[in-house]
Amino acid sequence: MRRLLYGLSALVVALAAGTVTVPAVEVRPGSATQIEDLVTLDTAVTEVNGSYDLLTVRIVTPSIAQALLVWADGDRQLEPRSRGLPDDVDQDVFRRLQRAQFSRAFRTAVAVGAGEAGFDVEVTTRPVVFQVLPSGPAAGVLDVGDVIRSVDGTPVESAEQLVDVLRGYDEVRDVVLELSAGDELREVTIRTEELPGLDQPGLGIVVDTIPDEVDLPFDAELGETNIGGPSAGMMIALTTVDLLLEDDLSAGRLVAGTGTIDGEGRVGTVGGVAEKVSAAQTAGADLLLVPSEQLEIAVAASDGDLRIVGVSTLAEAVAALRDGVA
């Protein structure tokens, strides 16, 4: 009987190891997706003679057994769960936000690309609530996705500007926020609090910068996709430039890349660079463009056969393509 009980215990442990997940994720290489299949511009001058590919990663939450296998493999590693999913954010909500972020990044990227091609465009950005700390003063008042338009009557156009305004308040006080969610405008008052990790009172929220209004001189449509996040911004902008100029920028090459883009055409850092290098190599890319700040990471992760160029602006990305066919 004792032996039977031991056997049943071992079976229960084995089943648990195969089904119970751990508070960690594994970031794996994703795929390369042709951007020109997702971008439709009604004023495109030429077709892309080659391919522009955005790169993705896969975020996997392993079971205990899978985590042990990752741990035993020297070429794989586990990351904190917050790497793939912010704490206290529902997974479905997070994925919905990521897809919405991709859609907003698309509009910004097209506008920046059009500006690089010589068109007159205008982009207005705003800070958006990306996470509300459950024990913070904004809990129950602000929702993920709320766009913050002003603080105490002062308009704010970026997450950085919002932080700068709040840093000017060095004591606990009431803060009036003007918000928008879709077409709805509302005003709320929140009293700041002392929060762990901050040297001054805060609201207890995580914010990001999004395009709030994008004025394009032509129609641009984004195709159906489940891809989320802003990291394809630079490549979408580059595709837009190629479509709007008679120059053959891609020149028959498979150009892969990753990097956010802001309204000024600056390329920002992204996650999963090493995994995206692997995805680019698997796709057979001729050239990989990455944020300049992450060039060393990309080069270290490559097999040495892929040409990798670091860029800090869209203009530098365009120059890198022209330099490759000079």
Q: In CATH, what number is assigned to the domain containing residue 139?
A: 2.30.42.10
Grade residue 61 by pLDDT with cuts at 50, 70 and 90. Answer: low
At 30 the pLDDT is 77
Average pLDDT, whole number, for the chain? 80
The verdict on 263 and 308 lying in the same domain is yes
Q: How far is CA 110 from CA 45, 232, 307, in A?
A: 14, 11, 26
Grade residue 141 by pLDDT with cuts at 50, 70 and 90. Answer: very high
Alpha carbon distance 251, 234 (integer Å) = 18
The verdict on 107 and 194 lying in the same domain is no
The verdict on 175 and 297 lying in the same domain is no
Residue 223 domain flag: yes
At 316 the pLDDT is 96
pLDDT in tens, 24-38: 665 667 778 888 888
pLDDT in tens, 211-226: 777 778 888 888 777 7
For residue 173, pLDDT over 50 is answered with: yes
| 103-107, 173-177, 184-188, 237-241: range with lowest mean pLDDT | 103-107
The verdict on 98 and 146 lying in the same domain is no
Domain region containing 172: 124-213
The verdict on 96 and 238 lying in the same domain is yes
At 16 the pLDDT is 45
Alpha carbon distance 168, 202 (integer Å) = 11
Percentage with pLDDT > 70 across the chain: 78
pLDDT in tens, 251-272: 999 999 999 988 888 898 888 8
Mean pLDDT (whole number) for 31-58: 83
The two structure tokens encoding residue 130: 């990306």
Count of domains for the chain: 2
For residue 126, pLDDT over 60 is answered with: yes
At 208 the pLDDT is 81
Last residue of a domain, one of 213, 245, 272: 213
Last residue of a domain, one of 213, 228, 258: 213
Which of residues 226 and 48 earns the better pLDDT score?
A: 48
The verdict on 197 and 295 lying in the same domain is no
Which of residues 108 and 58 earns the better pLDDT score?
A: 108
Alpha carbon distance 150, 126 (integer Å) = 9
Alpha carbon distance 288, 33 (integer Å) = 14
Other C-beta atoms within 10 Å of 59: how many?
18
Residue whose C-alpha is closest to residue 47's, from 208, 298, 247, 232: 247
Alpha carbon distance 173, 191 (integer Å) = 5
Question: Of 4-8, 63-67, 276-280, which one has max mean pLDDT?
Answer: 276-280
Which of residues 193 and 198 earns the better pLDDT score?
A: 193
Place of tokens 């956010």: 260
Q: In CATH, what number is assigned to the domain containing residue 68?
A: 3.30.230
The verdict on 203 and 225 lying in the same domain is no
Last residue of a domain, one of 183, 213, 243: 213
The verdict on 147 and 228 lying in the same domain is no
Residue 209 domain flag: yes
The verdict on 128 and 115 lying in the same domain is no
User: For 237, phi and psi rounded to 5 degrees?
Assistant: -65, -40
| 59-68, 176-185, 206-215: range with lowest mean pLDDT | 59-68
At 158 the pLDDT is 85
At 315 the pLDDT is 95
Residue 16 domain flag: no
For residue 286, pLDDT over 80 is answered with: yes
